[in-house]
Homo-oligomer: A and B are copies of this chain.
Amino acid sequence: MTHPSTEGARPFHVYDTTLRDGAQQEGMNLSVADKLAIAPLLDELGVGFIEGGWPGAIPKDTEFFARARTELDLKNAVLAAFGSTRKPGIRAEDDPQVRALIDSQAPVVTLVAKFDLRHVERALRTTAEENLAMIGDTVALLVREGRRVVVDAEHFFDGFRFDREYALSAAVRAFEAGAEVVALCDTNGGMLPDWVTEIVTEARAAVGPDAILGMHAHNDSGCAVANSIAAVGAGCEHVQGTVNGYGERTGNADLLAVVANLEIKHGRTLLAADGEGEGGLAEMTRIAHAISEITNIAPFARQPYVGASAFAHKGGLHASAIKVDPDLYQHIDPRRVGNDMRMLISDMAGRAAIELKGRELGFDLTGQSELLARVTKRVKDAEAQGYTYDAADASFELLLVEELNGGRPGYFRVESWRAIVERAGGRGVPATAEATVKLHAGGERIVSTGEGNGPVNALDHALRQALVRVYPVLESFELIDFKVRILDAMHGTDAVTRVLIESSDGQTSWSTVGVGPNLLEASWEALTDSAIWGLYHHGVDPS
C-alpha cells in the first residue's frame, strides 16, 4: 500500500508490531478480543501495516487472523502475519509453520530470518548456505502464493559487524527471491545512532536504490527512536515499532514518537489520512491512551508527545513566561498530536501559573491581584506543610473557590469519625476494618458505619453511605486510585502523611490531596474534598 510522501513517489511504510513484538512485554497478555479491538485503533491512526501475530505457532493468533477476515474492516492498513523461514533440511512447502502463514490469508507475510552467522551456526545449527536457501525458498514460495513479503533481518547489525559479507548476501538473496522489504533489526537493542547510519548506508549501497530497506529498533541503549530516525536518514523507507514503545525488555521503538518526529520535524506525511482531517497525527494522544486501556498497562506520564505530562509545565521560570508566548517554551503545539498544555501548581510557580491554572479550571482571575496573592500564599504555605497540588486539581479548585467565595460549599458538617482495625487472632488470621462517621446533612444527623479491607476503605464506605441518602448522585462516585507518602520520615512514625486520591463518576475523574499526622486523618481530608468537589461539579445545591 503506498502512502503519500512529500519526497517523491516512493511509498513510506509505517509498520506496527504492537500486537506481535509489543505483546512480548512483561505483564502483557492480549486476548483475541483485545487484538481485534486494538487493530481498528491502529487503522484509525493511519499506519500502513498491522502485524497481528504468529498464526500456527500461537493458537490465539491463528484465531485472530481467522476472525479478522470477517470482523475487521481496515481502511488504511493491511494485516501482516509474522513467522519464520522454513526449518533447515526440508522444503518450504512441507513446513507446517510456513503453511500456516499462507493459511492465515494475511496479504503480507513477515519472515524472521537469521542474518548473523553465529546464530545460524550456534542457535539454528545449520550451515551458512542452507540458511540462505531457507531465506530464498520461503520468500519465493510466499511470493508464488501471491503474498507481499517482508523479511526481518534478525540481529542484522551485530551480524554485519561479525561477518559483513554474510549479512549483506542474505539481504540480497531475500530481494532476489522477491521480498518487498528487508527490515534491518537491532534485535539486542545495543546500537547507537551513528553506528546505525554507517551500517544502513553500507546496506543501502549493497542492495541498490530500488530495494526497500526497513528498520526495527529496540530501546536497550535508550536510543530506539533516534536509531529509527538515523536509519531513515540513511535510506530506510519502512519503520517498525509499537504504540507506546511496548515490547520485551526495554521495548520496541515507540512508533508514535518516530512518526511524530518524522512528520513534524522532517515535514513528511507518513500516516494515511493526514491532511484529510481524520485519524492521523492529531488523534495520536487519544489513540495511544485508548490502546493502553485495552492492554491495561498504565500509561507513562512522561512519554514523549502523548504522555499526560508531555506538555505540563512546572518550573517557576517557565510558567511566568509561557503567558507571554507559548511557542517559546514548547517544541511543538501540543494540539498537533492531540495533547494539551497543563500548568502545574507548585511552590516554584508564581502568580502567573496560578492565574493560568485558574483559567484552565474555568476561573477568570485577570487583574485580581489581591486574590491571587492570597491564593499564592496559601499554596506555598500548604506545600511547605506537605500538600502538593500538582496532582490534585480538585483540591486546588476548592481552595480557589474558598478564597473567592469566603468558604467551601456546605454540603455536610462532620461531627466525628472513627476507624478500627482488628486482628482477632494470630499470624495468618485476616484483620477486619470498620469505620463510623457521624455527620449532619440535609437537615438530618446521620450515623453511618462502613466496613472495608482496611481503615481507609472502611472510612470511604462509611462516608459515602452517610451522604448518598441526601445526595444520591454520590452513588456513581468511585475511588479509583490511592497513593500514600510519608514525608520527612526521619524519626519513626512521627511524620507527616500525604494521600492523593483519584475519584471518578464514570465520565470524568478528579484528584484530591490530604495531609495529616497519620494515614487516616490525611485520607479523611482527601475523601471529603473528593465528595465536595464531585457534588460541586454536578451542580448540586447544598441541602
Contact = CB atoms under 8 A, between A and B. Distances in A.
Contacts of A388: 27, 29
A454 to B, nearest CB: 2
Interface string A30-64: 01110000000000000000000000011110000
Contacts of A24: 314-315, 348
Given A249-B309, A484-B519, A493 B454 contact: yes
Given A222-B257, A325-B123, A249 B423 contact: no
A239 to B, nearest CB: 13
Given A312-B26, A421-B418, A478 B452 contact: no
Most buried by B among A188, A302, A433: A302
Interface in A301-351: 301-305, 307-318, 321, 324-325, 328-332, 344, 346-348
Interface string A514-531: 001111110010000000
A189 interface: yes
B414 A426 contact: yes
A334 to B, nearest CB: 10
A250 interface: yes
A221 B304 contact: yes
A254 interface: yes
Given A302-B245, A314-B248, A492 B520 contact: no
Interface residues on A, range: 35 or more
Interface string A407-439: 000000111111111111111001101000000
A58 B348 contact: yes
B391 A27 contact: yes
B497 A296 contact: no
Contact of A192 (B261, B390, B495): B261
A495 B453 CA distance: 9
Nearest to A59: B384
B302 A123 contact: no
Contacts of A308: 26
Contact of A422 (B188, B346, B418): B418
A313 B492 contact: no
A233 interface: yes
A474 interface: no
A310 B249 contact: yes
B518 A433 contact: yes
Contacts of A245: 302
B484 A486 contact: yes
A314 B24 CA distance: 6
Contacts of A454: 493, 497, 517-521
A453 to B, nearest CB: 5
A163 interface: no
Contacts of A413: 426
Contacts of A116: 328
A364 interface: no
Nearest to A320: B123
A481 B490 contact: yes
A460 interface: yes
Contacts of A194: 230, 233
B325 A122 contact: yes
Contacts of A433: 518, 520
A81 to B, nearest CB: 16
Contacts of A221: 225, 257, 261, 265, 304, 331
A112 interface: yes
Contacts of A307: 250
A427 B453 CA distance: 25
Contacts of A310: 220, 249-250
Interface string A229-250: 1100100000000000101111
Given A26-B314, A325-B123, A455 B455 contact: yes
Given A219-B302, A248-B312, 17 more contacts: A27-B391, A118-B328, A155-B328, A192-B229, A220-B304, A221-B265, A223-B223, A223-B229, A245-B302, A248-B313, A249-B310, A413-B426, A415-B426, A416-B423, A454-B520, A455-B518, A457-B493
15 contacts: A24-B314, A24-B315, A119-B328, A192-B265, A219-B302, A220-B304, A247-B302, A249-B310, A416-B423, A417-B423, A419-B420, A433-B518, A482-B493, A484-B485, A484-B486
> Across chains A and B, which 10 residue pairs bring their CB atoms closest together, nearest first?
A454-B518, A190-B331, A226-B226, A479-B492, A222-B257, A222-B225, A457-B493, A222-B304, A418-B422, A188-B331
